[in-house]
Each structure stands twice: as C-alpha cells, then as structure tokens.
Amino acid sequence: MSVNEIINLLKNPSQNDIEIITKAFEFAKEAHEDQKRLSGDPFIIHPLETAKTIAKLQLDAKTIAAALLHDVCEDKNVEEKIIRKKFGEEIAFLVSGVTKLGEIKYKDAELKTENLRKMFLAMAKDIRVIFIRLADRMHNMQTLQFIPKEKQRRIAEETLEIYAPIANRLGIGEFKGQLQDLAFPYIYPEEYKKVKEMLKGRYEQKEHELIKTKYELEKEIKKNGINDFSVDSRIKHLYSLFQKFQRPEINMDIENIYDLIALRIIVKNVEDCYKVLGIIHNMWKPLPGKIKDYIATSKPNGYQSLHTTIFAIDGAITEIQIRTKKMHEEAEYGIAAHWAYTESNKPRTGGVVNPRMSWVNQLVDWQKSIAQGQTQDFLETLKLDFFKDRVFCFTPKGDVIDLPEGATAIDFAYAIHSDIGNSASAAKVNNKFVSLDTILKNGDIVEIQTQKNKKPSAEWLERAKTSLAKKQIRSARREHEPFKRAV
C-alpha cells in the first residue's frame, strides 16, 4: 500500500504533481490511521483505490489529491479550513464538493432528492466533483458484500438508476459498464444467475472462432498498406447482455446475440477507419442493416466508432468495431479524456468542458423549476429526461436535437422552441409525413410544420414524453383557455 501505486499510473507526472499527491496520501493515511473498513481492511485502502481510478482517467494531480482526501472531513472531522491551508483553495473546493454529497445518507426519497440536487449543482460548478464521486462509488460497489444486507439493495439501486446513467451521459463507457455489472446481482439475483448459466462455455467457444478471423483480418489490413493498427477483442458487459435479452427480436435466445465478443480495430486516423471497413466488407459479407457509422454521426454522449456485423469464417456472425486511438480513449474515459482546467477564476468556475456537457446546465436550470416536496416528479423526470438512453435526431439544416429514447415529434418540436411546439401542425420524418406522436429513432431527419394560431391539444400531454414538452403544453393551454365562469 503505497503512493507509488498512483504515481505509476500517470503518464508524465511533474515533480510538483508527485509532491502534491504524496502530501495528500500521507495526510489521509495519518487521518484514517485508526479506522477500518467493514471488510476489516485499513480505511486508507478506500481513498487510495478512489485516487487510483482518478489516475487511470489521467486527470490532474489536484483532482487525485482531492480523491485521497475526500473522506477526511466527513469521517475524521477535519475542518475544511485545514485542507485549504495545507492544500490550497482548489483542492479544498473539490473535497468540500464531494463531502457535501456524502453528508446525506439516502434514508428516504426527500433526502435522496435533496442530495441529487446538490450533486448536480456541484457538477455544474466543477465537473471533477462527479469524477471523484463516481470513483468513490466504484470502490464502494466492489466491496458491497461487506455492507449489511438491508443496505446492499438500496445502494445497488442508487448505482443502477443514478450513477451508471451519469457515467453514460459523461461518455465514460468503462465506468458505466462496471457499475451496472456490480449492481446487477444485488438487484436481479435470479436473472444474474440465469445469464451466467447461459454464458457457460460461450466465451471460450467465441474466442476460438475469432482466432482465425483475427489472423486473416490482420494479414489483409497489412496487405493493403496499413501498418499502424491493433486488433483486440471486447467482451460484452453482463448487465448490457441482460438488457439486450429483453428485446423482442432477441427473445432470451443467446444465439441471437452477435456481439458477445466483438473484434475491435484501432487505427491511426479517420481515413483508415473507412479504409478498413472496405477491406472487411471485401473479405466477408455484412449483415443487412447492421452497419452503423457513429463517426459521421456520433452518439449524444460523444461516442464515435464504425460498427459492422459480418458472416466471418465458417459463417460465424461477428461484430467488428473500428475507431481511432483518440476515439477509443473517449469511448473508455468520455469527457475526462479531453477535460481541461482554466487557471483563471479558480476554483469556483471549475472545469471547462466540451459542449456535449450542456445537459448538466440544462439539468440545473430544470431542477430550479421543480418545487420542493415534488419528490416523485423530480426522480421520475430525472430518469426519463436526463438518464434514459438517448436518441439523436436532426433538423433539416443538420442541427442535432438530443432526446430521450421514446420521444416523439412533439418532443422534438418543443426541444427546438416553445413557439414551434405550440404551433406544430404536422411533421415530416426522413421526408415522409407522419403523425406528431410518431416515436423518433436515431438519425431521423425531422421537419416540423407550423400553423398560425394553432394551439396544443389536450391529447398532446399523453403523447409527449419529455417534461419540457409537457410543461410548455400545460402553459400554452392555460394561457389560451378562457376562464370558466360559474353559472
């Protein structure tokens, strides 16, 4: 148990970085000296593992130091002013942000809601707070078996419903997958056992099938003049597999799962991505409708890759993903892969992040409009509007509209502007007229036609899926409906 476990994970740490991290480690180790985890291990293992996860994301030394110190205020009553004096304003701000999120234990829905509100406000001020919180949750889930059984399910549900979706929206695929897999056996124990049973021997069989495919593929890529590449395999996460089993076309049949183990090809640039795709399709026939270009049109969380599913050697149906090194880093580490911090106005301005993080500010604005006490509304809307799987659609001009899965053309109209929504009379999806309650799919091009003096109908409240659309519909109807006079 040494600070070198963290230092060795960093690519090019400066002497100053090493000193800050070492100082934080020694302080945390001394503060937690007399503490034990429920597992019986020394408590320092927890902040150390949290900091190691942050280091794997290649975040800055101050964030790593804050991860090491994140429990000293709450568990050891170290005052924030001491952290500020010893480590500076910035680290103190991060520690304070994470500590405040931990103060409320999720005893009931009201307290849970209040804690979530705090978390989102902290995220908006400095995104590094949620990185530390996710890393903290990761290690707590890895040691959940030592927690009293009555608490295990609650913590696992929280992880599955809140933390894994946050990781997903941040584009941190590895965090999302691990958190879901760790929560899976506690939430759905029988289904977990069933999936594990169905997988017996499957991975070994698929890996054996892929050996020859991989060899032939590498040989052909080199033959076509591409030398800077690597081919490896990706095993599908258990919970993701369980979710896929629920689809009607899969019908709980593992023979219908083609990406149990997928081949992943990492190349130097975008041009090589498309060149490799052509090479693959020249070697083996692709399955119709299974070619997906997430490079030209990335997913809402920034994910980019080419996907194709082919009839490989001996007819083995195989998924192949093709991406650049940069795309791969972003698929694994999301927003953390290109997070940047500005030296000006620190620390209150926090991290300067990619535009795809605009949803955090939208979330903060939205929660201000939810009245205190409307706990159920807050939690249900959160799951639907912000954490449900996303679809991305386009205006005819090519602007991307990010919506929750299941959203309709009505939701699309209101996402553009309330005036467009209120006056919507018809919709065209991919140049064909459809009803306004049509559910949209990834990549749809949607055109909303409007009509002067048009008003939203009462039925729209049932057809709209997002809280934004429903709120605007109610507002417009209140404004236009004449007051009924008592007779």
Query: CATH code at 409?
Result: 3.10.20.30
Tell me what pLDDT residue 353 has.
44
The CA distance from 412 to 469, in Å, is: 9
What is the distance of C-alpha 21 from the center of its chain? 27
Q: Is the dihedral of CA 61, 352, 132, 391 positive or negative?
A: negative
Same-domain status, 58 and 103: yes
Check: CB of residue 161 under 8 Å from CB of residue 180. no
Task: Give a yes or no: residue 319 inside a domain.
Answer: yes
Q: Closest Cα partner for 63 from 132, 14, 135, 141?
A: 132
205 and 111 share one domain: no
Range of the domain at 446: 388-480
Task: At 424, list the tokens.
Answer: 């919507």
Any idea what the CATH number is for the domain that residue 206 is in? 3.30.460.10
In a domain, 419, yes or no: yes
Q: Is residue 149 part of a domain?
A: yes
Q: Is 419 a catalytic residue?
A: no
Q: Rounded to the nearest 5°, which phi and psi values hold at 267?
A: -125, 180
- Among 17, 49, 71, 75, the active-site one is 75
Where a domain ends, among 333, 356, 372?
A: 333
* Claim to verify: residue 21 and residue 147 sit in the same structural domain: yes
Q: Is residue 486 part of a domain?
A: no
Q: Are residues 140 and 226 in the same domain?
A: no
Same domain, 319 and 420: no
201 and 151 in one domain? no
d(CA 401, CA 257): 30
Catalytic entry in 41, 49, 60, 74:
74
* Burial tier of 340 (Cβ tally within 10 Å: 0-12, 13-18, 19+): exposed
Phi, psi of 373 (to 5 degrees): 95, -20
Residue 307 lies in a domain: yes
Both 164 and 201 in a single domain? Answer: no
Q: Are residues 180 and 203 in the same domain?
A: no
The residue whose two tokens read 């476990």 is 5
Q: What are phi and psi of 309, to 5 degrees?
A: -120, 125
Domain CATH for 22: 1.10.3210.10
State whether 201 and 257 are in the same domain. yes
Report the pLDDT value the prediction gives residue 182, as an integer from 0 to 100. 96
Q: Give the end of a domain, one of 333, 362, 380.
A: 333
Contact 174, 234 (CB under 8 A): no
Q: Are 147 and 38 in contact (CB under 8 A)?
A: yes
Looking at the structure of the chain, the number of domains it has is 3
* Cβ atoms 293, 234 nearer than 8 A: no
Q: At which of 184, 214, 229 does a domain end? A: 184
Active site residue 74: yes
Angle made by CA atoms 248, 205, 278, in degrees to the nearest 5: 75
Say yes or no: 174 and 245 in one domain.
no
Residues 6+ apart with CB under 8 A from 322: 264, 265, 267, 273, 276, 277, 280, 305, 306, 307, 308
Examine residue 358 and state whether it is found in any structural domain, yes or no.
no
Q: What is the 3-state secondary structure (H, E, C) of 53-110?
A: HHHHCCCCHHHHHHHHHCCHHHHHCCCHHHHHHHHCHHHHHHHHHHHHHHCCCCCCHH
Residues 138 and 266 both lie in one domain: no
**Consecutive sets of 10 residues in the chain, 487 residues long: mean pLDDT of each?**
88 91 93 87 92 90 93 76 90 82 50 64 76 92 91 89 84 88 94 88 81 92 95 87 77 72 93 96 92 86 89 88 91 66 37 53 61 56 63 81 86 91 93 93 88 87 86 82 46
Q: Are 246 and 162 contained in the same domain? A: no
Where b means 16+ CB within 10 Å and e means fewer, 230-269 reads ebeeeebbbbebbebbeeeeeeeeeeebbbbbbbbbbbee
* 63 in any annotated domain: yes
Does the residue 305 lie in any domain? yes
**HEC per residue, the chain:** CCCHHHHCCCCCCCHHHHHHHHHHHHHHHHHCCCCECCCCCECCHHHHHHHHHHHHCCCCHHHHHHHHHCCHHHHHCCCHHHHHHHHCHHHHHHHHHHHHHHCCCCCCHHHHHHHHHHHHHHHHHCCHHHHHHHHHHHHHHHCHHHCCHHHHHHHHHHHHHHHHHHHHHCCCHHHHHHHHHHHHHHHCHHHHHHHHHHCCCHHHHHHHHHHHHHHHHHHHHHHCCCCCEEEEEEECCHHHHHHHHCCCCCCCCHHHCCCCEEEEEEECCHHHHHHHHHHHHHHCCECCCCCEECCCCCCCCCCCCEEEEEECHHHCEEEEEEEEHHHHHHHHHHHHHHCEECCCCCCCCCEECCHHHHHHHHHHHHHHHCCCCCHHHHHHHHHHHHCCCEEEEECCCCCEEEEECCCEHHHHHHHHCHHHHHCEEEEEECCEEECCCCECCCCCEEEEEECCCCCCCCCHHHHCCCHHHHHHHHHHHHHHCCCCCCC
